[in-house]
Amino acid sequence: MQALKKGMIISMKAKHPIMKKIKKYKTGYLMMAPFFLLFFLFTVLPVVISMGLSFTNFNMLEWPKFCGWDNYLKLFLDDDIFPIALKNTLIFAVITGPASYLMCLFFAWIINEFSGKLRAFLTLIFYAPSISGNAYMVWSLIISGDRYGYLNGILLKLGLINSPILWMKTEKYIMPILIVVQLWLSLGTGFLTFIAGLQTIDKSLYEAAAIDGVKNRWQELWYVTLPSMKPQLMFGAVMQITTSFAVADISIQLAGNPSVNYAGATIVTHLMDYGSGIRYEMGYASAIATILFLLMIGTNKLVQKMLGKVGD
């Protein structure tokens, strides 16, 4: 019997090559264990708990009470603000997501052509807006609603307007201004990732491509550069998608919360309205967060398929 058990164990191990890999690279897995533990505790677990809470009524004072699909029915059928926030978020994401992604890639490609200190200096210049703590204050001065605002002052001096425009109090201007500010701030982590990816490309690949018939820089970009940095492209896409869907601070700081006729409302500002302040409707806020999470996952899957065609 013991021999039979040993034989079964050996055969099970043979059928599971994953176990062999774990045993072979156990040192590496042990090194990664702290990260995976923290990632599970502070990312995966909160997401799972939030999804569970989305099916409850939870006010932070009493124990959550199961309510089924009530929060989602209320969200799509009774909440007048959510459709506006969803529309604004989709417009914002569709414009700033691809635009900021292409900007990051284009500027990284151009800057990579320089060498040494000049490249480092240009990288700092382009990256600086994303880490500027007073970025909102700068834009508040530019779009100030009086004649002392820089934008109003320039337009008045040129004779294009007769009186100052209340930029962030006029509904039609709010979303375009938020989009411009977001694009100005967009050269962040993804931009640095592309710079790093371009630095690691083997130069001999360009020589081989030239022998195979690649004739100009655009063909080099499509057939050599981009396929060689697919991991960086994917990481940059995830970062830009997350940033474009999770916009909130820009809207709150520049347009206020709530903004005029909710012209600057996004899913995250709507979530913050219910999850904090005086409401503390955590079950309903969790339902909003779950919808946002599903939107991000679906968009990431779509981008993965599109990036898989790069170089084909």
Alpha carbons within 13 A on the beta-carbon side of 191: 26
Residue 312 lies in a domain: no
d(CA 27, CA 154): 63
The confidence score (pLDDT) of residue 251 equals 87
Query: How many whole angstroms separate alpha carbon 225 and alpha carbon 113?
Result: 13
Residue type, 18: I
| Cβ pair 224, 206 in contact under 8 A | yes
Q: Phi and psi of 156, rounded to 5°?
A: -65, -40
Task: State whether 185 and 124 are in the same domain.
Answer: yes
- What pLDDT shows up at residue 86? 92
In a domain, 59, yes or no: no
- Is residue 86 domain-shared with residue 10, that is, in the same domain? no
Q: Given this model, what pLDDT does residue 246 score?
A: 85
Are both 135 and 11 inside the same structural domain? no
Q: What is the CATH number of the domain that holds 172?
A: 1.10.3720.10
Triad 243, 248, 250: Cα angle to 5°: 95
- Of 242, 237, 232, 231, nearest in space to 195 by CA: 232
pLDDT at 291: 93
User: What's the domain count of the chain?
Assistant: 2
165 lies in the same domain as 205: yes
Residues 121 and 269 in one domain: yes
Distance of CA 303 to CAs 94, 194, 306, Å? 12, 17, 5
Same domain, 206 and 273: yes
22 and 135 together in one domain: no
pLDDT given for residue 37 in this prediction: 92
Which single residue is written with the structure tokens 């904090």? 276
Any domain includes 43 = yes
- Does residue 1 sit in the same domain as residue 136? no
Confidence at residue 311, expressed as pLDDT on a 0 to 100 scale: 57
Q: In whole angstroms, what is the distance from residue 99 CA to residue 90 CA?
A: 14
Do 26 and 166 share a domain, yes or no?
A: no
3-state secondary structure of 66: strand
Same domain? For 259 and 143 the reply is yes
Q: Is 310 helix (H, G, I), strand (E, B) or coil?
A: coil
CA distance 20 to 11: 12
Query: Burial of 232 by CB count in 10 Å (0-12 exposed, 13-18 middle, 19+ buried)?
Result: buried
Q: Is 307 exposed, middle or buried (0-12, 13-18, 19+ CB in 10 A)?
A: middle
pLDDT value of position 85: 93
- Residue 230 CA to residue 202 CA, distance in Å, equals 14
- Each residue's pLDDT, cut to its tens digit, for the chain (312 residues) gives 454 444 544 444 445 677 777 777 788 888 888 998 999 999 899 999 999 999 999 988 889 899 989 999 999 999 999 999 999 999 998 898 889 888 888 888 888 888 878 888 888 888 887 777 656 778 888 888 888 888 999 999 888 888 889 988 888 999 999 998 888 888 888 888 888 888 888 888 887 888 877 778 788 888 888 888 888 888 888 888 888 888 888 888 888 888 888 998 999 999 988 887 677 889 999 999 999 999 988 888 888 888 777 656
CB-facing half-sphere around the CA of 262: CA atoms within 13 A: 17
Considering the domain architecture, whether residues 69 and 192 belong to the same structural domain is answered as yes
Range of the structural domain that residue 171 is part of: 65-307
